[in-house]
Chains A and B, each alone.
Chain A
């Protein structure tokens, strides 16, 4: 499960195909502050190590018609429950989504996550494809979403690559149409299965709070309007 550059090329090609039709529609650019409470659980040789921490960062999102492109970067610390050795964790992700229907979107995501501690340096690179279901809950821009991403390409330094990488997330967001603000809560679970010979299994969870501010461009004019 390697060949990461090829995956990036695929994302770029898909984005360039979809961008022209999206440019005809209203465009929304939003910047969001992201605070994440991650939890990492690793089993290795029947020993489970769980770590918790806090990550903070920024996400920038461009929405044009049915196409949404986003990029984010977070950084923080992850401290094991039974060990004083903390890790510095950083994550950069690029994602694209095309809404096939008003409630269903196809999604692709490329994530690079790096952890550095006194014990060493580990880097994860994951490229995934998936689907997202959206549902308006009524009221002033309340929307729920759930997504499932399969990562055919996953590469981890220093250890064997996982044989299975899946990610699922669920979230709820509030984005009133009349205001440029967005508040969202998202919970993501990532599950990695390694070859049985390695005796290794990992699960990464993240509860993320997003507060964003956006501008909308319609008919050539930029206005502070709802982000969605």
Chain B
């Protein structure tokens, strides 16, 4: 509709439009010379849309707003910006060129316009530029004549009949046009100084029906040859007559659907060749309702599912995307943006397929995405990394392993990837830092803080993004395990009996013999001390002699001095040294094999 307005404005280009364009150029020169007082009338005169809504026009609006803000005419600047946004939906303040105050005013103007949409039927607004519009002058609003007795209420206290006009101070005015037996039509118009704003209205009868159209992939909807907008369309009012809908997809595929709209009836048209399925029957049921053009019911179902506890895990992304699309078609733009924001936060990797979001919704999605701090990291769920191939690829010894990662952000920003360790103490190791605009692929070397390779265990990979709008982070759990590798067994210790004896016993010295004998005798004396020879029948009990002799013998044997055998010691030392060398070599080879062993990494998302 807005493009239609623009086209109509262009079609009515008067001859003096060329003069207006020259005024715009002249106003730009004054602006650049900081002659603000002189720039205002020239820029105002040059903004006649009849000359075209080109780049020069858009810069002219921004410059006029800048000048008016400098001259402390904030209200007038806001009116011009609202008018521009309403006339050219693509209009946007260039924040890199214009001062922040203009950028703020531009955002406020867009918010105002989006909050005050016109009823989507039967209104056409055109503008008649005065020969020389004066900045301080009043503007004019005129109600175009019609076949029915129209009346319009402007604001709260101004009334007009068809073909009447009224001079009003510049500003935004709500206009309600009505006629007996017809549906009233509401719209908001901007009255500009020295400019006539002509409101043309074609009212619908009170018995008008409602049209719901769903197409997947999306299509452009025309009714009776008149361009209506993009699908999905919900609650579009139509006169209770026969109509022909024309739907055309961007691929050129088209279809014509004749419909008969009953009095106050609902007509639902579905042209769906590609259905979304999630595997969750509740979500699929809601999506089926949307596909059959039962928009309100589908929205209600999705809202209850998304608000339920526990939160949806599968299909949440598609549910949010379709809910945003449906609420957008119902005209609930703020709700739609909130759902888009949730969508970005839920899954920054989600990029709407070309055939899913129509151009308006796609633009809204990207605008929301670029304002929403969100980050998500993704790695293969189960992968095996072979360090030997990495060494070959990088042509350098690598202690770590390169894990492929995908990173997605909402608002563009600098992403930091950390590896969290819990052993021997909790700490983070910064792996990489890089700027991400939307979705980027990278690989991170999985190494510890000191640069050594990652040992098997459980780790957490953290992605963090800090943007002007805030920060966000995402966690991935990594389970690292080393795949089995053949290692050589260590040589067993040399059996004792295979070694040569290193010492030999030598005869005991007399002193040892004497001491041992004394010990034996002492052992014998103890029981002998109690022995009554008359009673036992013996002076020396034989068992006492046995014990005493055993003690003496054991003492002598255990005290035998040992003399080293140098040649045996040397031979055994050589064998032991060889054994140790062989085991060291085996240990070193095993170490290399273990370092080159493939690593299996399984990732799970941390909820």
Contacts and interface: CB of A to CB of B under 8 A. Distances in A.
B527 A189 contact: yes
A168 B527 contact: yes
A216 to B, nearest CB: 23
By secondary structure, the B interface counts as: helix
22 contacts: A41-B532, A137-B551, A137-B555, A144-B551, A144-B555, A166-B530, A167-B530, A168-B526, A168-B529, A169-B526, A169-B527, A170-B524, A172-B551, A191-B530, A191-B531, A201-B532, A203-B531, A203-B532, A203-B535, A203-B536, A205-B527, A207-B546
Contacts of B544: 170, 187, 189
Interface string A116-147: 00000000000000000001011100101010
A24 interface: no
A148 interface: yes
A178 interface: no
A189 B538 CA distance: 13
A188 interface: yes
B395 interface: no
Interface of B: 519, 522-524, 526-527, 529-532, 534-537, 541, 543-544, 546-548, 550-551, 554-555, 557-559
A167 B289 CA distance: 106
A182 B543 CA distance: 20
Contacts of B523: 144, 146, 170, 172
B526 A146 contact: yes
Contacts of B530: 166-168, 189-191, 203
A37 B558 CA distance: 28
Interface string A165-186: 0111111100000000000011
B155 to A, nearest CB: 91
B152 to A, nearest CB: 96
Nearest to B548: A170
A161 B546 CA distance: 32
Contact of A185 (B527, B541, B550): B550
Interface residues of A, number: 33
A113 interface: no
Nearest to A188: B527
A163 B534 CA distance: 19
Given A48-B535, A172-B547, A172-B554, A189 B541 contact: yes
A225 interface: no
B536 A205 contact: yes
B537 A170 contact: no
Output the residue of A50, A137, A166 with the most chain B CB within 10 A: A137
Given A41-B535, A203-B532, A138 B524 contact: no
B545 to A, nearest CB: 9
Contacts of A37: 543
B541 A205 contact: yes
Nearest to B529: A168
Interface in A32-72: 37, 39, 41, 43, 48, 50
A187 B519 contact: no
A170 B527 contact: yes
Given A138-B559, A139-B554, A139-B557, A187 B535 contact: no
B527 to A, nearest CB: 4
Q: Which 3 pairs, one residue from A and one from B, show the smallest C-beta to C-beta distance?
A: A138-B558, A139-B558, A207-B543
Contact of A144 (B519, B527, B531, B535): B519
Interface string A195-210: 0000001110101000
Given A137-B551, A137-B554, A170 B559 contact: no
B267 to A, nearest CB: 84
B535 A170 contact: no
A187 B536 contact: no
B105 to A, nearest CB: 79
